[in-house]
């Protein structure tokens, strides 16, 4: 099996992100006469399917313009506005291909909510996967629904409350190739009981699950794999951690130190300072100016592959 990366959290994130509360931004789209037509996940259309792969990320944010400035300045992403069904939406692109979606949602007054990134996991049979998820303690937040260009999707919370999405993409899944700089390279789930969630996602997406050595931190790490590729990790929330259960998505960068500093210069904050990763390179976690968390990952381990 080709090996992958895990996020060995060694310190507490400094900011509580109430992800489930804010995902009304994505799961409760405004009513409109015209149906939503969101951009395709893959261009040009692919016939590939990689069940278990995290194939797309979507940001719910109260300020798309500010998010575009931040992510454009940080990763060199460009943006194309999409007006559809009364929804303000922007497609993020890198070198001419889609990398993410941004959806606008105002923060309700008087409620402590935070913007967040939503991870979409590929499944071949969405209705069947949702059924399995519900039978094993998940809750449906929205869907299933069919969207032109996008495919069939549903948004759920897992048994510990981490929010995620399932997608059967009508344009196919991204190829299993090494992520370039500025592309998503890894996803990590942080929960109080990683053993419980590893078992849940194994049933949901038929993952192979590998328990990795805990190292000096003493936290649990489980690797989720499918199709002979590592896809994601499930990790213990650090002692005293203030985050709720959540998925953290990592973008590949050349130098984590420099990119974390650039994030701060662009108005973001550092949640976990750059530090060595068990496989080489460095990891960092930052938040954009509106509070959405994401990871920065150097990938330097020779002979190993992580697929985006």
My answer on whether 110 and 223 are in the same domain is no
- Look at strands 246-252 and 293-297 and give their pairing: parallel
Q: What is the per-residue pLDDT for 34?
A: 55
Q: In the chain, how many H helices and how many E strands? A: 6, 16
Report whether 287 contacts 293 (CB < 8 A).
yes
CATH number at residue 224: 3.10.180.10
Residue 14 falls inside a structural domain: no
Pick from 214, 165, 186: nearest CA to 296: 186
Full residue range of the structural domain in which residue 129 is found: 19-31+51-169
CA 149 to chain centre: 20
Q: Helix, strand or coil for residue 138?
A: coil
In-domain check, residue 121: yes
Task: Report how far residue 265's alpha carbon sits from residue 291's, in angstroms, rounded to the nearest whole number.
Answer: 15
Q: Clarify whether residues 66 and 144 are in a common domain.
A: yes
Please check whether residue 92 lies inside any domain of the structure. Answer: yes
Closest-CA residue to 180 (of 306, 20, 31): 306
**23 and 142 in a common domain:** yes
Pick the last residue of a domain from 136, 169, 202. Answer: 169
**Residue 193 forms part of a structural domain:** yes
Say whether both 197 and 270 belong to one domain. Answer: yes
Q: Does 7 fall in a domain?
A: no
CB neighbour list of residue 89: distance below 8 Å, 6 or more residues apart: 38, 81, 82, 83, 101, 102, 103, 104
Q: What is the pTM of this model?
A: 0.85
Rounded-to-integer distance, Cα 170 and Cα 187, Å: 22
199 and 77, same structural domain? no
- Asked if the structure places residue 286 within a domain, the reply is yes
Same-domain pairing of 205 and 287 = yes
135 shares its domain with 222 = no
What does the DSSP assignment read for 163-221? Answer: EEEEEEETT-PPPS-BPPTTSEEEEEEEES-HHHHHHHHHHHH--EEEEEP-GGGT--E
Query: Would you write out the chain's pLDDT as a tens digit for each of its 308 residues?
Result: 233 333 333 333 333 334 444 454 444 444 444 567 788 888 888 889 999 999 999 999 999 999 999 999 999 999 999 877 678 899 999 998 999 999 988 766 655 567 899 999 999 999 999 999 999 999 999 889 998 889 999 999 999 999 999 999 999 899 988 899 999 999 999 998 999 999 999 999 999 999 887 665 556 789 999 999 999 999 887 655 555 688 999 999 999 999 999 999 999 999 989 988 876 788 999 999 999 999 999 987 543 444 44
Residues 161 and 77 in one domain: yes
Which one, of 121, 118, 144, lies nearest residue 49 by Cα? 121
Instruction: Please identify, among 108, 142, 169, the residue that sits at the C-terminal boundary of a domain.
Output: 169
In the prediction, which pLDDT does 289 show?
95
Q: Is residue 37 part of a domain?
A: no
Q: Do 62 and 158 lie in a common domain?
A: yes
Indicate if 26 and 86 belong to the same structural domain: yes
């Amino acid at each position: 099996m080709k090996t992958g990366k895990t996020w060995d959290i060694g310190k507490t994130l400094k900011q509580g992100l109430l992800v489930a509360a804010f995902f009304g931004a994505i799961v409760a789209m405004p009513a409109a006469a015209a149906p939503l037509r969101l951009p395709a996940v893959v261009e040009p259309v692919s016939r590939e399917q990689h069940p278990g792969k995290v194939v797309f990320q979507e940001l719910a944010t109260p300020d798309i313009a500010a998010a575009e400035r931040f992510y454009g300045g940080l990763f060199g992403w460009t943006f194309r506005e999409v007006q559809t069904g009364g929804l303000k939406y922007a497609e993020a692109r890198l070198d001419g291909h889609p990398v993410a979606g941004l959806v606008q949602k105002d923060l309700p007054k008087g409620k402590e909510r935070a913007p967040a990134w939503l991870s979409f996991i590929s499944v071949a049979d969405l209705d069947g996967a949702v059924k399995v998820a519900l039978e094993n303690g998940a809750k449906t937040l929205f869907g299933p629904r069919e969207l032109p260009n996008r495919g069939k999707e549903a948004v759920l919370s897992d048994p510990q409350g981490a929010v995620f999405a399932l997608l059967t993409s009508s344009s196919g899944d991204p190829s299993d190739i090494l992520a370039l700089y500025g592309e998503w390279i890894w996803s990590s789930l942080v929960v109080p009981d990683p053993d419980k969630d590893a078992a849940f996602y194994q049933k949901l997406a038929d993952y192979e699950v590998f328990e990795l050595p805990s190292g000096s931190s003493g936290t649990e790490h489980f690797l989720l794999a499918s199709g002979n590729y590592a896809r994601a990790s499930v990790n213990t929330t650090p002692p005293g951690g203030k985050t709720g259960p959540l998925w953290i998505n990592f973008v590949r960068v050349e130098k984590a130190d420099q990119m974390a500093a650039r994030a701060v210069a662009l108005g973001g904050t550092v949640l976990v300072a750059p530090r060595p990763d068990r496989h080489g390179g460095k990891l960092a976690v930052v938040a954009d100016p509106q509070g959405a968390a994401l990871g920065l990952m150097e990938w330097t381990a020779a002979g190993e592959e992580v697929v985006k």
